Amino acid sequence: MKLDVSTHKLFGYGSTLRTAKRLTEEAVRVVGRSVAGRMPDVKVVLTGERNLAEVATAAEWETAGCTDKRVQSRALRNAKRLARDTAGRVIPLADGGVLIVINVDQHPNEATFAITVVHELVHAMQTSRKDVRERLIAGLRHDLGVEKQSRRWDREHERCLEAEEKEAYGREYLASRVVPSAAA
């Protein structure tokens, strides 16, 4: 398991990057012990609200194999609309790892950052489970119009996403082990 923490178009955030590296390394250990699955290679990118959408959609396009410029621009517009309320996102990568994009504007202190990192790392662990990665990639391909799925498959996919989200929210209490002041 490799862990890489970096920034995208953030200048003057050196101390934030160092803190994020320290907290992420500890969160990987805590989540790895507590959640079923195997931690994949994780790349964490810290960025602002303006650049969150472009980093996330670029990774989604690469994973889904989307080359249609009209579809890409529509997906980018939708992602920009949702970026203000997004604290973090997990995108499965084509090479088997995951990309975690975190909006630094949503995290005023270490405690809120720890909660988000733990939440997103739980999602990363879920991608190592049987058939989850394939389903997520098929969902990306469906959403981008590369390969359409049936309505029945789409409903089942939504149910699985809700269950995974519920599990991730249920494990946010682990952030208190990463930062004692992060009582979720």
CA 28/CA 178 separation, integer angstroms: 9
Distance (Å, whole) CA 37 – CA 60:
23
In whole angstroms, what is the distance from residue 141 CA to residue 138 CA?
5
The per-residue pLDDT for 27 is 95
Q: How confident is the model at residue 183 (pLDDT cuts 50, 70, 90)?
A: low
Distance of CA 160 to the CA centre of its chain: 16
Domain positions in the chain: 3-178
pLDDT category of residue 82 using cuts at 50, 70 and 90: confident
Convert the pLDDT of each residue in 105-145 to its tens digit.
899 999 999 999 999 999 999 999 999 999 999 999 998 88
